[in-house]
């Protein structure tokens, strides 16, 4: 055998693509290439195309190859953060005066980027309920809308959007369908296979998986879509901005993210196992008014989620009746850590209205004050349930809490 990669399974791709043994030493883990510059064999004589590490770097190339493989895309780009990736994409796909349709419960950081960074630059935005295809179609402005921006599941309300149907809506209007796949991860959902043109990730979250690296990524489809030439041009423009704007992921961050990607499948299975146990328990708890989890049969998007996601995911949100009770819950846990972010091996709990989504308070995207968001980790499920039970017990004394 010549050692050529030939596997097709998700974990095989995640572990092996971009990670061939080092040809010089035989090292099975790619080295971290920290060099900023590369010796030229005469003027313009580049070895492997490497000149300067903002432009290209072997460790970043390894991560990008792996990300493209697991998302079944044609080109991937690693950026310094998820928001850096979003900014690069919007500037690559849009011009001042262009319009984007966004979720009406988008991640607060994305909404801030759209409204306060891209807005003054000239981008126009219309929020819509992405679980309602007709509402999205009504929000599209033919000739002006260049991007339909999708989160599924959404953050933090965990609504589910029909990727294939929204791809049709976007393409009918000559727009791109962009899917933020951070919550689902490439293991649970692969939007490019459902008609999306671009996938966005905060690789800080499930892809990295250990709360120790900040990063973002774009994965682009340049073949098999409605307009292959346009996909290729978009990839070229993203590559240009990755270098020209310079918000690239560092070699060490790329190496950490690539390491995390190798175990994504096994981690996501445990995240999903635990989230299911937690969601089912909370759904029966008298101190909980409602539970939002796509893996529950009672979730309004459950049937769609079962079609386009492998499992329900590791995120669970629930409501407890009052902002005061919600604050008491998040401040009373011991195994769940009160912190922003998500997707790490440890379980996190937060109050979106006052934390991750505080920037949208008073807007159409404001989230309920009694909503608690969980990033369910990979600890032992009975310990997670017991921790939430004791926190809900403490919150039960707070006026306004749920009394089901």
Which residues does the annotation mark as catalytic? 54, 107, 180, 205
Token pair, residue 50, equals 């490497």
Q: With residue 115 as reference, give the H or E element that holds it.
A: none
Checking phi first, is residue 181 left (phi over 0); if not, alpha (psi -120 to 50) or beta?
Answer: alpha
Cα atoms in the 13 Å half-sphere on the side-chain side of 10: 15
Quote the Cα angle for 311-385-352, to 5°.
70
CA distance 10 to 138: 37
Q: Based on the number of CB atoms within 10 Å of its own CB, is 329 exposed (0-12), middle (13-18) or buried (19 or more)?
A: buried
Element (H, E) at 352: none
From edge to edge, which strands make up the β-sheet containing 290-292?
Answer: 290-292, 315-319, 371-375, 348-350, 337-338
E-strand ranges in 237-341 read 290-292, 315-319, 337-338
What DSSP element (H or E) covers 3? none
**Please, which residues bridge with residue 148 across strands?**
101, 177
What backbone torsions phi and psi does residue 121 show, to the nearest 5 degrees?
Answer: -75, -20
Q: How far apart are CA 156 and CA 178, in angstroms?
A: 19
d(CA 309, CA 198): 17
* 183 contacts 161 by C-beta, under 8 angstroms: no
Pairing, β 198-201 against β 216-220: antiparallel
371-375 and 124-128 as β-strands: parallel, antiparallel, unpaired?
Answer: unpaired
Hey, which residues does 145 pair with through a beta bridge? 99
Show Cβ contacts of residue 279 under 8 Å, excluding neighbours closer than 6 positions: 291, 293, 295, 296, 312, 316
């Amino acid at each position: 055998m010549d050692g050529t990669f030939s596997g097709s399974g998700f974990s095989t791709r995640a572990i092996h693509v971009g990670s061939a043994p080092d040809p010089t030493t035989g090292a099975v883990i790619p080295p971290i290439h920290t060099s900023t510059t590369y010796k030229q064999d005469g003027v313009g004589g580049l070895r492997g195309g490497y000149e300067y590490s903002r432009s290209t770097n072997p460790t970043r190339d390894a991560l990008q190859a792996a990300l493209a493989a697991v998302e079944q895309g044609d080109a991937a780009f690693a950026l310094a953060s998820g928001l850096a990736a979003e900014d690069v994409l919007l500037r690559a796909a849009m011009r001042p005066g262009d319009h984007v349709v966004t979720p009406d419960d988008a991640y607060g950081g994305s909404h801030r980027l759209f409204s306060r960074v891209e807005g003054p630059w000239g981008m126009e935005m219309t929020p819509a309920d992405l679980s309602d295809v007709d509402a999205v179609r009504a929000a599209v402005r033919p000739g002006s809308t260049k991007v339909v921006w999708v989160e599924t599941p959404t953050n933090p309300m965990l609504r589910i959007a029909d990727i294939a149907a929204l791809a049709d809506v976007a393409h009918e209007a000559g727009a791109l369908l962009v899917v933020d796949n951070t919550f689902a991860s490439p293991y649970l959902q692969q939007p490019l296979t459902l008609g999306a043109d671009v996938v966005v990730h905060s690789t800080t979250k499930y892809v990295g998986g250990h709360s120790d690296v900040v990063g973002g990524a774009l994965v682009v489809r340049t073949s098999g879509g409605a307009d292959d030439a346009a996909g290729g041009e978009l990839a070229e423009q993203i590559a240009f901005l990755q270098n020209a704007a310079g918000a690239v992921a560092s070699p060490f961050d790329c190496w950490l993210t690539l390491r995390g990607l190798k175990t994504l499948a096994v981690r996501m299975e445990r995240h999903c196992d635990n989230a299911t146990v937690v969601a089912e328990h909370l759904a029966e708890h008298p101190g909980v008014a409602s539970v939002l989890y796509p893996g529950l049969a009672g979730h309004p998007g459950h049937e769609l989620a079962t079609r386009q996601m492998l499992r329900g995911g590791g995120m669970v949100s629930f409501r407890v009746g009052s902002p005061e009770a919600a604050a008491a819950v998040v401040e009373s846990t011991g195994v769940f850590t009160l912190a922003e972010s998500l997707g790490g091996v440890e379980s996190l709990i937060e109050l979106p209205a006052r934390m991750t989504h505080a920037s949208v308070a008073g807007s159409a995207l404001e989230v309920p004050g009694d909503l608690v968001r969980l990033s369910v980790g990979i600890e032992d499920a009975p310990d997670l349930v017991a921790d939430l039970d004791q926190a809900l017990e403490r919150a039960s004394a707070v006026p306004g809490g749920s009394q089901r």
